[in-house]
Amino acid sequence: MASPRLTQLGRRERQIVEAVLQLGRASVADVRNRIEDPPSYSSVRAMMRILEDKGYLRHEQDGPRYVYLPMGAPEKAKRSALRDVVQTLFDGSTSQAVAALIETSDSRMDDAELDKLQELIRLARRQGR
């Protein structure tokens, strides 16, 4: 199956997938606690089953409940979700996305974080990205 894209999902579906990505593994109750103004438990459960059918989530049995996990490697899923956000909200501009993250951050970046960003920029220049 081709890698599914978050931009193909509705708002609620995207919120659910993003919650599972952030948590790594999540029950229906975990997802409901994570999203703003959540629909009923049964609605979230039904949407998670649909997202599983669409290839965005998978589940494991954990005692009497299902625990949902993102399909594929979590890092790959995070990169795909971030790529979708950059494309959708920043017209594909990585620099605008990074600037927005830096400008809206509630905490100061320490020297190690700034050095890491500089190194990533140098690497991107060398690779022609």
Q: Read off the pLDDT of residues 10-52 as tens digits, 9 standing for 90 and up.
A: 889 989 998 998 898 999 999 999 999 999 999 999 999 999 9
Query: Whole-angstrom Cα distance, residue 10 to residue 58?
Result: 19
Taking only the tens place, the pLDDT of each residue in 57-95 is 999 999 999 999 988 766 766 777 788 788 888 998 988
Q: State whether 64 and 26 are in the same domain.
A: yes
Q: In which domain, by residue range, is 101 found?
A: 90-126
pTM: 0.59
Q: Is 76 contained in some domain?
A: no
Same domain, yes or no, for 18 and 66? yes
Quick one: residue 35, left, alpha or beta (phi over 0 = left, psi -120 to 50 = alpha)?
A: beta
CATH number for the domain spanning 33: value is 1.10.10.10
In this structure, what are the phi and psi dihedrals at residue 26, rounded to the nearest 5 degrees? -155, 140
Check: CB of residue 68 under 8 Å from CB of residue 25. Answer: yes
65 and 104 part of one domain: no
Structural domain total, the chain = 2
Q: What angle do CA 44, 19, 40 make, to 5 degrees?
A: 20
